Structure 1
Amino acid sequence: MVKVNDQEIGAVGYGLMGFTWRPDPTPFEVAFPAMRKSLELGANAWNGGEFYGTPDNNSMHLLNAYFTKYPEDAEKVQLCIKGASVYGRMQPDGSPQNVRRSIDECLKLLDGKKKIDLFECARVDHNTPYEQSLNTIAEYVKAGKVGGISLSEVSAATIRKAAKLHKIAAVEVEFSLMATDIMENGIAEACHEHNIPIFAYSPLCRGFLTSGWKKPEDVRPERLRIFPRFTGDAFYQNVKLRDEVERIAHDKAATIPQVALGWILAVSGKNGLPVIIPIPGATTAERVEENMKPAQLTDGDIKAINAILSKVTVAGTRYPEFGMSHTNG
């Protein structure tokens, strides 16, 4: 077990995005069994967002309904919420007034049924001094309304700057077999320096490693088709990585997702890396069970995977151009 903000959490967390941030939101009665199963199996670090869905159906509505039905689970979960975007739009607004609006709205929708253990601005707003955004969250921490501060999609320089201002409980960044940037751009190093764990979002490459996609037209949901890694020649280049990992999975009698998650856990806390907690999402209890049985990889397996990563270059950026402009802030 790992401690984040003085609360023990499992080696694998749970991402809520897939339930509400899709063209056909998952009905609560379908989502609840997956959420319960994740908690039963030890994935008690839950990650949601004010913008995961619509103003009328997002993570907060789902969580309110869940903890209304299962109030006994509220204290078992460490809940991290992302917000501070322009309301109803995917555009960062870290101004003090919008950070307050965002936190207040999330607290209102949770209706006292669950505390926000960690709150983070989803992206850095370059129009607002970052210390103002952090100081505003800190006001809520001091008032006991939020448990702590986490960061999201920030650069190594921002991590170091933030750590001088406030206690930073976690940093959320994309990390997977297809997104190893943090190992080269200083982000992992900065987190290690300040003993800050990383929440690794999209550890299964937005479904790329769980799917049977054979061509770009297969990508679901369709909005992912504008992501450069899932388009044109880049898609077919990246399938090579999936095929190579599949060979290792076959030899381990495991699935590709189990190998992908096993790799993250195997490198976590080693060779100068901080503790890394993958937060895969799943919409069924069966998929949760699969994710909570990561492959146990040997040193030889890790060496083989590292050789694959050196041999197969991932093509395309993590987001379209607009999205990339708001990463590593």
Structure 2
Amino acid sequence: MSPLSAPKTIAGKPVGPIGYGLMTLTLSGALTHDEAIKPLKAALENGATFWNAATFYGPPDANSLQLLKHYFTKYPEDASRVVLSIKGAYDGATQSPTASPEQIRASVDKCLTLLDGLKSIDLFAPARVDPNVPIEESVKALADLIKEGKIGSYGLSEVNAQTIRRAYAVHPPASVEIELSLFSQDVLEKGGVVDTCRELGIPVVGYSPLDRGWLAGQFKTLDDIPKDDHRRFYPRFQPGNFEKNVELAETVKEVAKKKGTTSAQVAIAWVQQQGVLPIPGSTKVERVLENTKYVELTQAETEELERAITKASVSGHRYPELFHAHLDK
């Protein structure tokens, strides 16, 4: 298949070829707001105009929304340059979706209060499908919020092809956000999420394009991961799986070395070739500049990568068991 181009517009607004995921800026609480706005500014100035934030990237009083308020207070002129996507309607404490019409409205209203008029919400997405609420009811509530001018558009996150079609029949989403990387390719199956979005003309946003650091070539031993790092709970980082995945990640590193780029740039470029907007995240300015640099893969390089992944296979599920219940299989 010929390489595809990543979406050029989302929510009716132009976006750069690579977006920026804000999760790591607030999730651990390690950065002050003044420290966290530096990589944000670097991302924007390097063309990453699509920002992906969430109400649960950190505690209720210190997540993406407080950081965004701090950023746009300092840089009000950037509000019109950023296409802001916010995931909400999700209880971070219990790791469960809360997507009834009333809960969606409450989540949006809280976001607007925290942003304090400094930035509009270009796109709002329930973080997961609520098993207790028909998707049609959730989408109807989102469509009402669009009509009221509270949000510019709505998106879907971690949904299957059938859910996309059901939602589309009520009101077309502005984007669908899914996990996509060389290590996580299930959404590319024939007739699956990406095919469905392509058929319906829905832009696809790909989170975790580096598979939580694997495809950046960060890991050689388990000691490379801090003891309190949440990734230690993920199956791909467990003993037995870890060692096999290190070997697989070396393949990406070899392609990057021959190309004169970094492993991360190669992995991000592969996601773009699937017609998906990658949204890598980082807390370091130098990594942001690296990740948002456009790199193009040759057909031979793409085939080499895909042969290696197919032959060796990734070891371990992408999420711990705790999160499986809220994946829209």
TM-score by length of 1: 0.94
**Which residue number in structure 1 is paired with residue 245 of structure 2?**
238
**Which residue number in structure 2 is paired with residue 254 of structure 1?**
261
User: Counterparts of 1:104 and 1:211 in 2: how far apart (Å)?
Assistant: 40
Question: Are 2:105 and 1:91 equivalent residues in the alignment?
Answer: no
User: Counterparts of 1:191 and 1:319 in 2: how far apart (Å)?
Assistant: 23
Amino acid corresponding to residue 202 of structure 1 in structure 2: S
**Which residue number in structure 1 is paired with residue 3 of structure 2?**
none
Amino acid corresponding to residue 308 of structure 2 in structure 1: I
**Which residue number in structure 1 is paired with residue 87 of structure 2?**
82
Aligned partner of residue 90 in structure 2, secondary structure: coil
Task: Between 87-96 and 26-35, report the one with greater CA deviation.
Answer: 87-96
User: Counterparts of 1:64 and 1:89 in 2: how far apart (Å)?
Assistant: 26
RMSD: 1.4
1:117-128 matches, within 5 Å, as: 117-128=122-133
**Which residue number in structure 1 is paired with residue 213 of structure 2?**
207
- Structure 1 regions of 5+ residues with no counterpart? 269-275
Paired residues of 1:55 and 1:88 also in contact (CA < 8 A)? no
What's the offset of the Cα at 1:163? Answer: 0.9
**Which residue number in structure 1 is paired with residue 234 of structure 2?**
227
Amino acid corresponding to residue 281 of structure 1 in structure 2: G
Deviations 1:210-234 (A, max 9, x none): 3532223432452211111111111
**Which residue number in structure 1 is paired with residue 323 of structure 2?**
323
**Which residue number in structure 2 is paired with residue 218 of structure 1?**
224
**Which residue number in structure 2 is paired with residue 144 of structure 1?**
149
Deviations 1:271-304 (A, max 9, x none): xxxxx10000011221111012243211111111
Among 44, 48, 51, the residue aligned to 1:46: 51
Paired residues of 2:54 and 2:63 also in contact (CA < 8 A)? yes
Paired residues of 1:51 and 1:90 also in contact (CA < 8 A)? no
User: Counterparts of 1:325 and 1:215 in 2: how far apart (Å)?
Assistant: 30
- Structure 2 regions of 5+ residues with no counterpart? 1-6
1:275-314 matches, within 5 Å, as: 276-314=276-314
State the number of aligned residues: 321
Paired residues of 2:135 and 2:166 also in contact (CA < 8 A)? no
Aligned partner of residue 47 in structure 1, secondary structure: strand
What's the offset of the Cα at 1:11? Answer: 0.8
Amino acid corresponding to residue 75 of structure 1 in structure 2: S
TM-score by length of 2: 0.94
User: Counterparts of 1:140 and 1:267 in 2: how far apart (Å)?
Assistant: 32
What's the offset of the Cα at 1:17? Answer: 0.4
What's the offset of the Cα at 1:116? Answer: 0.6
Aligned partner of residue 56 in structure 1, secondary structure: coil
1:22-33 matches, within 5 Å, as: 22=28, 24-33=29-38
